[in-house]
Structure formats: structure tokens, C-alpha cells
Amino acid sequence: MRKLGLILPLGMLLGGAQAAHATPPAQGKSAADPYLWLEQTHGERATQWVQRENARTEKRFAEGAQFARTRDQILQVLDSDARIPYVYRMGDYLYNFWKDKQHPRGVWRRTTLAEYRKADPAWQTILDVDALGKAEGHARVFKGADCLKPDYTRCLIALSPDGGDAVETREFDIPSRSFVKHGFRLPVAKTQVDWIDRDHIYVGTDFGPGSMTRSSYPRIAKVWTRGTPLKDARTVYAGKPNDLAVSASHHRTPGFERDFVTVAHDFFHSTTYQLKHGKLIRIDVPGDADVHVHRQWLLVETKSAWTVGGTTWPAGALLAIHYDEFMAGKRDFTALFTPDEHTALSSFDWTRHHLILDTLKDVQSRLEVLTPQADGSWTRKPLAGAPALSTVSVVDTDPDRDDAYWLDVTGFLTPATLERGVIGETQAEKIKQAPAFFDASKFTVSQHFATSKDGTRVPYFEIDPKDMKLDGSHRTLLYGYGGFEVSLLPRYNGAIGRAWLERGGVYVIANIRGGGEYGPRWHKAALKANRPKAYQDFAAVAQDLIRRGVTSPAHLGAEGGSNGGLLMGNMLVGYPQLFGAIACEVPLLDMKRYIHLDAGASWIGEYGNPDDPKQWAYIKMFSPYQLVKKGMHYPPVLFYTTTSDDRVGPAQARKMAAKMLGMGYDNVWFYENTEGGHGAGADNKQSAHMHAMAWDFLWDQLQ
């Protein structure tokens, strides 16, 4: 639930549709903003401004032979037939969604395990999104499918008209590979659905005025019966307008069927209820804890210290107890994981009889298998992990069926390997190997620690040419995010390898506070009034790179998107002396107005409420739109956004670029793609165009 509306970093790659994604300006200081008209997403004046700035930026950075080479190199990576077709299991089949040159919008397809093991598997197409768009006269973006267990023949497919979070939901029949006539269907909205049985679903959507939260997500969860009008759906729970979102779900594991309602009050606090015999029974855990119910187990992830059952558990712990016993009043938890100064829980996944823990030690993966015993204890043993400076993650299990697991193993210089094993039967074996898109033998990977302003040690990864001279001359790209407890981990990136490393550049990932690299404490260290600590961390990494002789300010570029775009805005206005150029993508920048734009109200828990004068007193200290000034020596900056972004919205980048241009800065550039939502593009070609523009801009400026 917490991931709803997360503003994710671009490197990792929800009300109804609105004509303009903005509320009327408040009176007072906001009303004096001369660029409020750019908040009208499809306004005529705003559209003309976007077209003019797009043409200017395209002419400067996207018309030369070098840009075409960079774009094509990236597109070859994204469209390569040799990529791993990552799969997930539903019943007896492995499903995959695939985009390439022939299928720019993608095909949803499936195969068997025996066939998948082959070098060139035979796939059965379930849905061709390009063909659907052609047949219906409107291109769409596939946003996933929720299929009914255990036979997985009926699915609720989400299709976005432009790549945004608002989707049309349509019932689909897999055996006939067709949409169900008179089946469940919902118009474009930020919808949440879950199957109860073949004839009933839980639904949260735009039911009409007042049915969405201030954050633009469903406020009401209902049960909808097949063949009846949506207006007759029965309300299960109605939240408050200031809640983040309300959702209902049904667990279908045989013998453990349960129904739940989750009320997200903000991004980090929620209440979960079991819906039993028409009554709501609260699961009594702290509001900031994450709740996971599976079969007979309740797992609780603590986000702050919790004293319960006579024991105080630290933030970042994973606790287990029998669900029915907990609901009956028992509180004798077993700790499955507790953090220390160097370790944090990254994720966990159930198989039929086991739990796989993925932990981080100084931002490097470790896997462990835990097994519950009849006496209530848990045994544990390591699962084959990753090489040094790499990442291992569980990509699929089916806990209702067996103990098989699928692993993705990758590193900055190591193309991903997809492995499959069965706990207690077979060790993980290689099933697929991704190709190498650049010559990794020319480069080295190292981890370093910078010292931030308050003395905190901040880790960062550096990928650079072998035998590089530390003379400060190297074009260096420093990437960061630092928010929402999201961790930036070692991963292979063929596009970066081709477009940056092979040109002689250095690539650096900064694991600054606000992220999840060291668990909740690392995240909370940069919340709200402490947000500037994330920016101090990023600046400290930049300064360390300069101190070590890796680069110099004239050769150091920075890139970040979404929450990382806010990071870039603060680097621009707060630390301009450290950078030669900045790429700021789908960013938050106007922190005075952010809660009135698109889904902005959902992130008050991260940044604070600027409408509260006491909170605005600290928020204004990291609001680039208010901090930018005339007559400064700001580095060149490229703002990138998308018209269809209904999460952060395009207004933030538009307004910042317009304000700086209005102040007389001629080194400010802006580009807005129409499709793609809060991502890099609706298809691989659009993504390649965006990345090529950003990286060529940085390379051009860092001379």
C-alpha cells in the first residue's frame, strides 16, 4: 500500500482524468506567482510555451550526428532481442511483458518452464497492445493485469491512454484472448481493484464528486457484483478526504481466505483491518509499521521502535507471530531480522514452506532462508549470494504452490543472470544470461565513503576506467535520489555503459540519506525539517570526488528524477559551485504549491505541509522555485518532464525553467514529452530519446 504513488527514481524503471492537474491558486503570496498559467497542463498558452521551448532544446541538443548515435546506442540496448525476458508465474505458465522494435507498446505473452529453458522459447501472445491500439484507434500503455487465482483465466487489465497513472480497467479472458463482453469495465481513473471471486471484485475508483482523496486516489472501497451497475456497488469503507487512499483486498490461499481493508492516512502511516462477517477488526500495530499476512503468519516491519509484549523492538526489525494468536491478544513475537549500523532489510519473499530474506550490508546484498518449525522457532541458513559490489534479488515465487524461487543477479559491470532453484531440492541454476552491451574489462567498481556536514559517513559507488589518473579532468556523472526509503543498488546498465562510460566518463551512485540503504533510520534522517541533510550528503559526495582528484566542478555533472529532481533543484540553487551541469527530470521544485498539484498531497509525510506556516518555515529552505535568484552563477541545467505525468505533473519543471529564463539565464533548457507519465517514455524509442538528450547535454556541457 505504501508504494501507491511513489515518486521513483527514473533509473529504476492515480481521481479521474483531468483537463488540468491543478487546484486554483491560494490567495496571498502564491497568487503573485507570474507563472501559475503553466500549471494548466493543456492550456493553450502553456502548450505554446512548451512547443517553443521543446523546439529550442531539440535544435540545440537533438539534431546533431552525436545525438543520433547516442540515441541509437541506447535504443539498441532497450530493443535488444538478447535481453532477459523476465517472467512471473501464474499457474502452469510463465508470463512476460515485452517491448521491442516490432512491438513498441509491447506484447503480453506466456510460455512453459520447459520452453523457457530453451535459447529461443516459443511464446503464446495473450495481448498485443500495438494491435489493440490500431484496432481501436488509440494507442495505449499496458499497466499490468490482476488475474483470478487459482486458474488465472480471468484478468483485470489496466491500460493507460498516455502512460500516466490513470488507467482504464477491462476484464480479459485468457483462453479466448479477448476482452469479456459486458464484463467488468471501468473508465480512465486512478483505480484500485482486487478479485473476490469470479463474480465479485473490490473496487476503488472515481465514483463521482467527493469519491477521491485530496491526494487524487480512491477514498471509498466497494464490492461490485457482475452484471450490476457500478452505482449499485456496496460500500465497504469510506475514508476521509485527507486520507491518502483506501483499498480492499481478498486473500485466496486455500484454508486462509481473508479480506482486508487498508486505509493509508499518509505515505508512511496506515491502518489495516480484517473484514470478517461484515465487521472491521483492526490489526493492532503501530501506524507506521508495515503489515504482511500470509497463511498462518503475521509479519510486521517496524519503522520506529515498538515496545510490545515486554520487549522493545528497534526500527527496521522484521517480527513474526501466528496471525490468529495475535488477533486473540498474544504478543510474543519472534524477531526474524534486527538491523545494526551496517545492515538493513531490503525485502522478503515467501515460498510454500520458507521465507527468503534479502538484506543489505553497506548496500550489498545478502540472502538467507528462514524456515518455521513446529515448536515456534525458526531455522536459518544462507542462500547463495552475490559477488562483491553486486545485487541479488528475488524476482518470483509462488507461495501457494511450491518452494521454487527465481533470482536476478547483477552488478555495475556484470550483466544480469536469471537463476532458478528449489529450496531443499536444487541450488539456483542459471536459466538466462543478459548480453554485455559494453566492454566491462576496461572499468573498475569501487565503494567509497564521504563525510557529510554533520559527520555522517555516506557511501557511494564509483565506476571508472582502469588506471585512471586522479588529475580532476574526467567527465563525471553523479546520480542520486534520497527519499521514500528507496535504495540505489548496484545494477548493470547497458545504456549508461554505452552512452557514458565508453566515452571515457565516470559514473557515480550516491547512497544519501532519505533512501533505504540503512533502513528506516537512514530514511528518517532526512524527513521534513531534516530534508537538507540529503542535500548535504550529495554535496559531500561531490566534494569528495573533487578532493580525490576524480573530477573537478567544471567536469562534474549531476542527474536525478522525481524526488531526485528536487535533489537536483537544490544542487542548482544551493551548491552551484560544485557542478558544471545538471539534468533535472520530472522534478518537484515548487514546494509551496506541490500539495495542490496532481498527487502532491500524498507526500506531506515526506516533506511537510507548506500551507502550515510553521512547516513552511523549514520547507522554504529546500524549495528551489522560491530560492532561485537573479545574478547568480548557476550551471547549465536541463529540465525534462512529460505532459501526461499525473503524479508529480509537468508544472513544476515548466515553472522553474520559465522563471529562470525570465531572470535572464540563457543556460536553461527545457523539454517535455507528451506521453510516458511519470517515467522516461511510453515506449523504448521515447525512453532512448530522453536519456540521450540528458546524457548528451551533460557531456556537451562538462568540457
Residue-wise pLDDT tens digits, 476-490: 999 999 999 999 999
Percent of the chain with pLDDT strictly greater than 70: 95
Please report where in the chains the cell 548535504 appears, as a residue: 536
Selection from 369, 303, 685, 689 nearest residue 521 by Cα = 303
Neighbours of 254 (CB within 10 A): 9
Residue-wise pLDDT tens digits, 210-231: 999 999 999 999 999 999 999 9
Is 249 marked active-site?
Answer: no
Asked whether the beta carbons of 394 and 347 are under 8 A apart, the reply is: yes
Q: Show the DSSP H helices in 20-144 as ranges.
A: 44-61, 65-79, 113-116, 129-136
Is 178 marked active-site?
Answer: no
- How far apart are the C-alpha atoms of 385 and 510, rounded to whole Å? 23
Instruction: Write down the pLDDT at residue 376.
Output: 87
Residue-wise pLDDT tens digits, 386-426: 677 789 999 999 999 999 999 999 999 999 999 999 999 99
Mean local confidence (pLDDT), 156-172: 97
Neighbours of 168 (CB within 10 A): 18
- Residue 16 clears pLDDT 50, i.e. is over it: no
What are the extents of the domains in the chain?
A: 30-75+437-701, 286-339, 345-436
Mean local confidence (pLDDT), 171-197: 98
User: Annotated catalytic residue: which of 562, 602, 644, 687?
Assistant: 562
Selection from 517, 482, 513, 480 nearest residue 363 by Cα = 517
User: Annotated catalytic residue: which of 354, 474, 678, 689?
Assistant: 678
CATH of domain 30-75+437-701: 3.40.50.1820
Mean local confidence (pLDDT), 621-629: 98
Instruction: Write down the pLDDT at residue 12.
Output: 40
Instruction: Write down the pLDDT at residue 386.
Output: 61
Q: Output the pTM of the full model.
A: 0.94
Selection from 476, 651, 458 nearest residue 565 by Cα = 651
